[in-house]
């Protein structure tokens, strides 16, 4: 392999489009100059369709976890009861954040690899009337599950007055999102996934209903006080130093989205998911999730007759292809392929072909080209 050639196929950070890299290489400007105001003014309306909202989208310099923590500190108080739906490692992170702030946390665990059933949440809320907020993960990165947040939002609002808060970090920009129509109160994402940027920005859209709760929450916060970001964004500014280079890149990302069309972006991600899944089905290697629960942005594979970490090591060492391993109790049991953001069906074909060769190198004999052929046939049929 060429020494400078690498293939990044993890569920974030993801590859950066060359035009976005060029945009981020622009000379630095003063973060309080008119140029920043003009930049934010141009970005604001372009972000709204990605979230499916009429609300301005807040931009905070920080990782996606900063966004998760901010919604906890701004919406609930110590002693308040909340429900966290845990379908993997990042649902578990919401639990940890809530417990760190001494929130009375109800934990609803779902078997890893399965999506939550909305009717189960409906039954739970019928029995727990004091819950102030329900936290869920849209795409559970650790398992490749896409949870039915539209249906969950419906039962949350039917059965309670709780806010419905969704972590969309590993899928927003790659799947359809209609925050306002679906009844999501706060939707969060990060820059380093389907938004095709380096890590360092977190984005939040907040409903009018959630703002009413935030405005009456007297809990102190400084850097993560969302009302500060809303006030400054109204004036095309930020309360603290913005990540200027990332904002340059974000403007270009949003222009790429407009050029391709958000519906086409989502269709491309769904096609890549189907190509990946059909390849492994043809190779006879089990997938962690069902077709119904699968995410368009990341696929988790759970082999039964070879070591996934041995495969990952060969992929990395001999082919410069980086994939992700399992987390927590799935460590050493699965491997994950990210197919989001700056990724195309051609990239999926390359990835599957490389994996077939690496499988032979670790002693797992498959018919070379069979998985690639299945992916090709899926691509040519449009994913059907």
Least confident of 24-28, 167-171, 214-218, 275-279: 214-218
Write down the CATH number for the domain with range 18-258: 3.40.640.10
Does residue 143 carry a pLDDT above 80?
yes
115-125 per-position pLDDT tens digit:
999 999 999 99
pLDDT band at 183 (very low <50, low <70, confident <90, very high): very high
For residue 183, which of 210, 154, 211 has the smallest C-alpha distance?
Answer: 154
How does the average pLDDT of the chain come out, rounded? 97
Distance CA 29, CA 41 (A): 16
Q: Are strands 324-325 and 321-322 parallel, antiparallel or unpaired?
A: unpaired
CA angle 151, 157, 159 (to 5 degrees): 100
What residues does each domain of the chain span? 7-14+261-380, 18-258
Residue 3 has a pLDDT of 82
Question: In the chain, how long is the greatest CA-to-CA distance?
Answer: 63
Q: What percent of the chain has pLDDT over 90?
A: 97
* CATH architecture of the domain with range 7-14+261-380: Alpha-Beta Complex (3.90)
- Using the predicted structure, report yes or no on whether residue 302 has a pLDDT greater than 70: yes
Cα distance between residue 12 and residue 319, in whole Å? 19
Beta strand pairing call for 139-140 and 104-109: unpaired
Give yes or no for a cis peptide into 184 (omega within 30° of 0).
no
- Has residue 342 got a pLDDT over 70? yes
**Cβ-contact 193, 340 below 8 angstroms:** yes
d(CA 142, CA 214): 30
What pLDDT sits at residue 384? 64
The pLDDT of residue 382 is 86
**Residue in 112, 138, 173 with CA at minimum distance from that of residue 302:** 112
Picking from 68, 147, 76, 74, the residue whose alpha carbon sits closest to that of residue 108 is 147
Helix %, strand %, coil % for the chain, to 5? 45, 15, 40
pLDDT in tens, 202-243: 999 999 999 999 999 987 789 999 999 999 999 999 999 999
Average pLDDT over residues 6-35: 96
Q: Are the C-beta atoms of 16 and 227 separated by less than 8 Å?
A: no
Report how far residue 188's alpha carbon sits from residue 207's, in angstroms, rounded to the nearest whole number.
12
Query: For strand 131-137 and strand 81-86, is the pairing parallel, antiparallel, or unpaired?
Result: parallel
Query: Quick check: 2 pLDDT over 90?
Result: no
Q: Is 93 annotated as a binding residue?
A: no
């Amino acid at each position: 392999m060429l020494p400078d050639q690498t293939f990044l196929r993890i569920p974030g950070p993801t590859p950066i489009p060359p035009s976005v890299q060029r945009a981020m290489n622009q000379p630095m400007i003063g973060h309080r100059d008119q140029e920043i105001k003009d930049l934010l003014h141009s970005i604001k309306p372009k972000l709204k369709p990605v979230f499916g909202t009429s609300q301005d989208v807040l931009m905070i310099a920080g990782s996606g976890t900063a966004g998760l923590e901010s919604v906890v500190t701004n919406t609930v108080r110590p002693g308040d009861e909340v429900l966290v739906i845990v379908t993997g490692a990042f649902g578990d992170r919401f639990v940890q954040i809530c417990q760190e702030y001494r929130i009375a946390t109800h934990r609803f665990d779902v078997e890893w690899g399965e999506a939550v059933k909305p009717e189960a949440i409906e039954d739970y809320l019928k029995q727990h009337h004091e819950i102030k907020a329900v936290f869920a993960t849209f795409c559970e990165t650790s398992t490749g599950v896409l949870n039915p947040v539209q249906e969950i939002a419906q039962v949350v609002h039917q059965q309670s007055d709780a806010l419905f808060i969704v972590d969309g970090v590993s899928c927003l920009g790659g799947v359809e999102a209609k925050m306002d129509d679906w009844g999501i109160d706060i939707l969060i994402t990060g820059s380093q996934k389907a938004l095709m940027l380096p890590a360092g920005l977190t984005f939040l859209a907040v409903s009018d209903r959630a703002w009413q709760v935030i405005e009456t929450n007297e809990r102190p916060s400084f850097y993560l006080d969302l009302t500060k970001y809303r006030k400054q964004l109204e004036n095309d500014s930020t309360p603290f130093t913005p990540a200027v280079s990332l904002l340059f890149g974000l403007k270009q990302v949003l222009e790429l989205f407009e050029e391709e069309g958000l519906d086409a972006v989502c269709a491309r991600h769904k096609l890549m998911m189907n190509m990946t899944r059909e390849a492994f089905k043809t190779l006879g290697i089990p997938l962690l999730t069902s077709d119904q629960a699968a995410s368009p942005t990341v696929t988790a594979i759970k082999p039964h007759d070879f070591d996934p970490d041995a495969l990952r090591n060969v992929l990395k060492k001999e082919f410069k292809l980086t994939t992700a391993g399992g987390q927590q109790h799935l460590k050493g049991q699965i491997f994950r392929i990210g197919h989001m953001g700056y990724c195309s069906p051609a990239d999926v074909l390359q990835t599957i072909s490389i994996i077939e060769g690496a499988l032979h190198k670790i002693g797992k004999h498959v018919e070379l080209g069979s998985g690639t052929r299945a992916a090709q046939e899926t691509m040519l049929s449009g994913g059907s």
